[in-house]
Amino acid sequence: MATVTVTLGNGRRINAVDARPKKARARAEQAAQARDAQLQAIALEHLDLETLATRRSDSLDFSDQAVWSIKAALEAAFEAGRRSA
């Protein structure tokens, strides 16, 4: 078992126990990294967002987007999920 730090939606961090075997944890981490990379690529291509990381600055964390750009990004994310299933 391993102790992991989990960041909640409100930004609060808690420690939790991950009871999965080491190989399962490694596979899950690789899958999460691949998913994040794919989301980052979609955000850059369709929304012109350099990063999806929170930068704690309104001018950096908020952006105006056209609905058709958002629709294209959502469709790309949906297709990526469908292909990975």
Question: Residues 10-69: pLDDT tens digits?
Answer: 888 888 877 777 788 788 889 889 999 999 999 999 999 999 999 999 999 999 999 999
Task: Kindly report the number of other CB atoms within 10 A of residue 46's CB atom.
Answer: 19
pLDDT of res. 1: 64
The yes-or-no verdict on residue 8 having pLDDT over 90 is: no
Higher pLDDT, 2 or 44: 44
**Radius of gyration over every alpha carbon of the chain, rounded to an integer in angstroms:** 16
Q: Strand 13-18 vs strand 2-7: parallel, antiparallel, or unpaired? A: antiparallel
pLDDT of res. 21: 79
pLDDT of res. 13: 85
d(CA 41, CA 59): 21
Q: Which helix (H) or strand (E) holds 43?
A: helix 22-47
**Sole residue written with tokens 């929170």:** 54
